[in-house]
Chains A and B, each alone.
Chain A
Amino acid sequence: DAKTTQPTSMDCAEGRAANLPCNHSTISGNEYVYWYRQIHSQGPQYIIHGLKNNETNEMASLIITEDRKSSTLILPHATLRDTAVYYCIVRVSGSNYQLIWGAGTKLIIKP
């Protein structure tokens, strides 16, 4: 599986959009980008995933660059409850490969 690079930490003001970048320059054509978050020692929570097209759901939007070497997770209106560690993971589609978790980005939403 391709490796990902994320900033160690980020701040965002409450009510603003939080944009979390992820670099996956060695991603293969059949690897999806997954995002999870973990709120202080709780179980990780699935957010969104995508292959090449931008994706949106009730939690967030995922923007994948055309060359697929990087992506951005967007939380449109961040709240204090969005403070968490956000993990960007790439995974081969349709295989039995497991999710490989890095250190993630610690996102702190400030009032």
Chain B
Amino acid sequence: DSGVTQTPKHLITATGQRVTLRCSPRSGDLSVYWYQQSLDQGLQFLIQYYNGEERAKGNILERFSAQQFPDLHSELNLSSLELGDSALYFCASSARVNTGELFFGEGSRLTVL
């Protein structure tokens, strides 16, 4: 158990819909990361937050957005969903802002039909 909690574990929705994925970081961790893992691609970095502020942005689509709240939990919003958005979405947290030692949650599996 990494201490990072993600909900929901599984989500099935239709194209064009909007979903929100939630992440609670490890206790005390200020930095949260979102990754996407689809079958034909490896883990792709989407975005990082540190103590409520966006820190780094990767290959995140404009249809996707994220935020980190004062209690440090984070949400990833995916809108206008397409079939290709079907993937595992992982959240990770770290104690420091610039580190490669990340602790990952178990992921949210999104299926878009």
Q: What CA separation (Å) do A70 and B48 show in the bound complex?
A: 29
B100 at the interface (CB under 8 A from A): yes
B104 lies within 8 A of A44 (CB): yes
**Interface contact A43-B56, CB-CB below 8 Å:** no
Chain A residue with Cβ nearest B55: A96
Main DSSP-derived SS at the A contact region: loop
Q: A43-B104, A43-B106 are in contact. Are A96 and B97 (CB under 8 A)?
A: yes
Q: In the complex, which of the residues B92, B98, B103, B107 contacts A41, with contact meaning CB atoms closer than 8 Å?
A: B107
Given contacts A43-B90, A45-B104, are A99 and B98 in contact (CB under 8 A)?
Answer: no
Chain A residues bordering chain B, tally (CB within 8 A): 21
Residues on B facing A (Cβ under 8 Å): 2, 4, 33, 42-45, 48, 55-56, 58, 88, 90, 92, 97-98, 100-107, 109
Of A14-22, A60-68, A76-84, A87-95, the segment with at least 4 beta carbons within 8 Å of chain B is A87-95
Contacts of A101 in B (CB 8 A): 42-44
Are B43 and A44 neighbours in the complex by a CB distance under 8 Å? yes
Task: Identify 19 residue pairs between A and B in the complex whose beta-carbon atoms are under 8 Å apart, listed by A's number.
Answer: A32-B100, A41-B88, A41-B109, A43-B4, A43-B106, A44-B43, A44-B90, A44-B102, A44-B104, A45-B2, A45-B104, A49-B101, A89-B100, A96-B56, A98-B45, A98-B48, A99-B43, A101-B42, A103-B42
Residues in chain B near residue A96, CB distance under 8 A? 48, 55-56, 97-98
- Neighbouring A residues of B98 by C-beta, 8 Å: 94-96
Question: Which residues of A does B touch, CB under 8 Å?
Answer: 32, 34, 41-46, 49, 89, 91, 94-96, 98-104
Q: Are A42 and B106 in contact (CB under 8 A)?
A: yes
Residues of chain A with a CB closer than 8 A to B56's CB = 96, 98
Shortest CB distance A85–B (Å) = 9
User: Which residues of chain A are within 8 angstroms of B44 by Cβ–Cβ distance?
Assistant: 101
Q: Apart from A43-B2, A43-B107, what 20 extra A-B contacts exist at CB < 8 Å?
A: A32-B100, A34-B101, A43-B92, A44-B92, A44-B102, A45-B104, A46-B102, A49-B101, A91-B100, A94-B98, A95-B98, A96-B55, A96-B97, A96-B98, A98-B45, A99-B45, A100-B45, A101-B42, A101-B43, A104-B42
